Structure formats: C-alpha cells, structure tokens
Amino acid sequence: MVLVGTNMAAALRPAGVLLRDRRQELLILTVRSAIKRMDAGKRPAPDPGSGDFGAGNSEWYMVAQGPVSHGGASRVQPQQQLPQKQPNVPEAPDLKFSRGTGHIGYFWVLNIRDDEVMRKLKLGEIRKPKTGILMLNMGGPETVGEVHDFLLRLFLDRDLITLPVQNKLGPFIAKRRTPKIQEQYRRIGGGSPIKMWTSKQGEGMVKLLDELSPHTAPHKYYIGFRYVHPLTEEAVEEMERDGLERAIAFTQYPQYSCSTTGSSLNAIYRYYNEVGKKPTMKWSTIDRWPTHPLLIQFALCWVQSGPPEPQPGLPVLLLEPGLPVLLLEASDGKRGGFQCFADHILKELDHFPLEKRREVVILFSAHSLPMSVVNRGDPYPQEVGATVQRVMEKLGFSNPYRLVWQSKVGPMPWLGPLTDEAIRGLCERGRKNILLVPIAFTSDHIETLYELDIEYSQVLANECGVENIRRAESLNGNPLFSKALADLVHSHIQSNERCSTQLTLSCPLCVNPVCRETKSFFSSQQL
C-alpha cells in the first residue's frame, strides 16, 4: 500500500479519500519496476525514520509497503526495505518519483506538485486500467551510449537474422559496427525519436479509445521494444502487475514479417514460458494492418488538366491548377480527406515545380529482408506491396512508381532493388525528380532521418545530379494516425478476434519452432 507524509494526508483529508477502505481504491501505489531509475534529484529526500518526515518539505512523500497513515508518517522497519526500482503508477502517469536513501537503505519518494494530479486524487478520478495495449516495435537508442547494447540485442536475435555461431559472431558484429552507427545517431541529434513518437501516438490512441469503447476503459498503452528499454518482456511484466483484464499486442509494423512482428510476439510467448506461469489477463493481437483505410487515405487524385466532375455531396479541392482532388466517402460513412501516407505524398508533390510534377517518380522504400527469409514463405513482401498498391489506387496512379528496399546488412542476397541503386539507375535514365516514401515505417528513426534524409537525399543525390528529391513525412504525431490506431484497436475489440487468420498459418518452410508455439499461444486464448 502507501505511506504518505502528513502534508499529503492533510491535503487529501478534506475530500474524505483517506477514510475507511476508499483510500485503498484511490492510492494503490504499489512498488514496481520501471524503465529507468531516477536519482534523488538536487534536493535531498527526508529520512523516513525521522520524526519530521514531510515537515516543511511538502513536495516529497514516501511510498512504502504498509497501510496508509493519515496521522503522520509511520516508522519504516528494516524488513520493509524497498527494492531498488522505481514505483509505477499506471493510473497516474504524471506522478514523478525519485530515489532517496535513509537508514533503512533505499526508498522511493513521490514528488507531487501537479495541481491536476492532486485534483484527480481528491475527486477519486484515478482508476485502475482495464485494457492494456502493448505497442510493439524494434525501438531505437535514445542516446549514443545505448547504441552498442541495441546492436548487440539485434544481432543476437535469431528471429531477425540467423548467423553461424551467433553467440560469438553477433557480439563481434555489434562491437565492430558501433562506432559507425554512433556517428549516424550523432548526425540526427544524438538518438532515436521513436520512443517519443510512440508515446505521443499511444497517448492519443488511448484517449480516443476511452471514448470509443467505454466498457473496456480505462485503456493504457505500454511500449515494448525488442532491442532497447523498455523491452517487450519488461512491458509484459508491468502489464501483469497492473492487473489488467485484457491485453492487446499491437504491432506498430503495418506489414507482418516473422523477423519483426513475429519476433515481438515470440518475446511475449517466451516471457510466460520462461517464468513458468500462465497469463492472468486475456491476450489477443493485432498482428498486421497493411491496408487499413486510414493508413492509406480516402482521397483520389488526378494529375490531368481540368477538374473532375463533382458528385453530389462530395467536395472538390484544387491543390494547384490541373491537380484536383476529389474527396470520397470513407467506408464508415465519415469524410475521408488527406490522411496518412497519401496525405503526405500529396503534400510533398506540391513542392515540386508544377511543370515537373507529373514526371516525379515515387519510390516507396521499405526495410529489406534476407532472401533466405523470403524464400521460407514470409508474407512481408506481399503485404508491403499491398500497401503500395492501395496508396497508388487512391492516388489514381498519378505518377510512375516503384517499390524499393533499404538497410541491407551483410553480403548475403536481400530483397531488391535497393533504394540507393534505384536512385542511381533513375538518374542514369534521366529521371531526376524523385519522391521517397517510407512505406513500412510509421515513425521517424535512423532509417528515415539518416539513411533517407542524409545518405540518399543529400550525399547520393549530389553525386548523381538529382534535380529535385524529397522525402514524404513519416506519420509521427499526425492526429489522424492516432485516430487510425484507435480505430484499429476498437474494431479489434468489437470483433472479439484473438489474432488474424494469417497468423495461424506458419511459413511453409518455417525452421523456428518458437513461431509455432507463439501462434498456438495467441490462437488458443479464451476471450
């Protein structure tokens, strides 16, 4: 439970929240693991063993195991020493903790000055989450110092890449590549923004979900990265401690691959298998969404002279003379508009000289995959192609386009043509107006900010004599993308689906027995 100082008790007593059992409903601040440990801060925390805990120090409150004390701080016995990990308050993410030390060892301190949080505590508006959405992704190092561990986990993941004597070769490759990759992260600001964008997307998603699906609210998002903290298994552990009723593993890769989404789902299965216990919550998964309408968008664009004939009730918007856009009805009866991928393509095409706009080549760039994985039957190439096809259909095939692949590692054959080779080839053939579209990435990270923006759009473009090259903006903090995520989860909840039909099928030449166990884990859940 919670041990609070006199000042906090005094602040809450007028609202009556510390009376009887109600205090336990509102202030269940149990000690939990956290993503990062936080130091005690610039000012010292009070010693909980002293008699003046909380006196004259109204922003600090001790969190410990034991009953709530509203008459003053209770002395903490040595056997009540807390773990050296930060508490987590899923019902109130705004609460900030710091670590202090006293004669009992480590303890955790709650810094609460936020008026809105205090208001919620007084009014009893903080509720335990009921449905958790685990946002799965590869992740990226937030600092240059995290690059080595990121690469080490990546090259040791046999779901992603299979190497001979991987436990030795993986660390060797990670160590060798670290300086080069660190320099790339320095060029983009010192770290990956993917956690920041995932958090913003998650916040927008759960806010909408609480309105769309009140019977499964409150909803809480969790971040589960494969190669940096918070790791997938750490997120699952946190979800279990939060006592959720329902858990949804939501891949942030629109197109499924055994090496990306499959690896993240395998990590969930391995967590339960290794700890030797069954889930206390009901699991399901959104394992792919390559053609979701809000991902693609509902606008149809013509690059022909003269506007199309307007249809009753459907507005026509003219971006430029000769470049009309007819807004169509979405499948759910709501207006479509400039949304997600097609929205960003239209926005970037608008920057090309008008006389060149029709000849702009759209290069849809996705992370490549080893041919050894493709030849086992991995559906990734087809699903990326499906996204590209739907986007071009909505654009009315207004421009020439190709699907290309980036981020190849090592000498073995990978999916091609590679993005850099395609740019060179187009320039050699006189096609020097190019729009790059990161079709398999929903948030900016090293592959968009460095590989596409610097390596290709600056260095390579100068070498090849490109006239105009632009990169379509990633979905990042676009509120329409948060709406798409909320719509996906809401539809998934309504369908009562455990996983997609496609997830139940193993690749014809699958060599990973864990994949089969993972598929069985999700398909056998009782919702």
Query: Which are the catalytic amino acids?
Result: 292, 487
The residue written with tokens 């008699």 in the block is: 51
> Rounded CA gap, 273 and 270, in Å?
5
Q: Kindly report the number of other CB atoms within 10 A of residue 462's CB atom.
A: 10
Closest CA to 202 of 216, 225, 219: 219
Closest alpha carbon to 185 in 469, 480, 454, 473: 454
Per the listing, tokens 């891949």 go with 251
Residue 473: Cβ within 10 Å count: 17
Residue 39 in tokens: 């130091």
Q: Are 216 and 493 spatial neighbours (Cβ–Cβ below 8 Å)?
A: yes
The residues that bridge with 99 in the sheet, in sequence order, are: 108
The CA distance from 293 to 285, in Å, is 19
How remote is the C-alpha of 151 from its chain's centroid?
19
Give the span between the Cα atoms of 201 and 199, in whole angstroms. 5
Which residue from 86, 137, 26 is spatially nearest to 367, judged by alpha carbons? 137
Nearest to 464 by CA among 506, 429, 499: 429
Beta strands in 252-387 (DSSP E): 282-286, 299-301, 316-320, 323-327, 361-367
Q: How far apart are CA 473 and CA 343, in angstroms?
A: 9
Helices (H), 194-246: 194-212, 232-241
DSSP string, 300-322: EE--SSSPPPPPTT--EEEEETT
Cα–Cα separations (whole angstroms), residue 209 to 128, 275, 322, 482, 484:
15, 31, 40, 10, 11
Per DSSP, the three-state class of 346 is helix
Q: Is 250 exposed, middle or buried (0-12, 13-18, 19+ CB in 10 A)?
A: buried
505: left (phi over 0), alpha (psi -120 to 50) or beta: beta
Residue entry with tokens 């398909």: 523
Give residues with Cβ within 8 angstroms of 524, minimum separation 6.
498
Element (H, E) at 179: helix 166-187
Give the list of residues 6+ apart from residue 306 with CB closer than 8 angstroms, or none: 322, 324
How far is Cα 43 from Cα 55, in angstroms, rounded to an integer?
15
Count the residues in the chain. 527
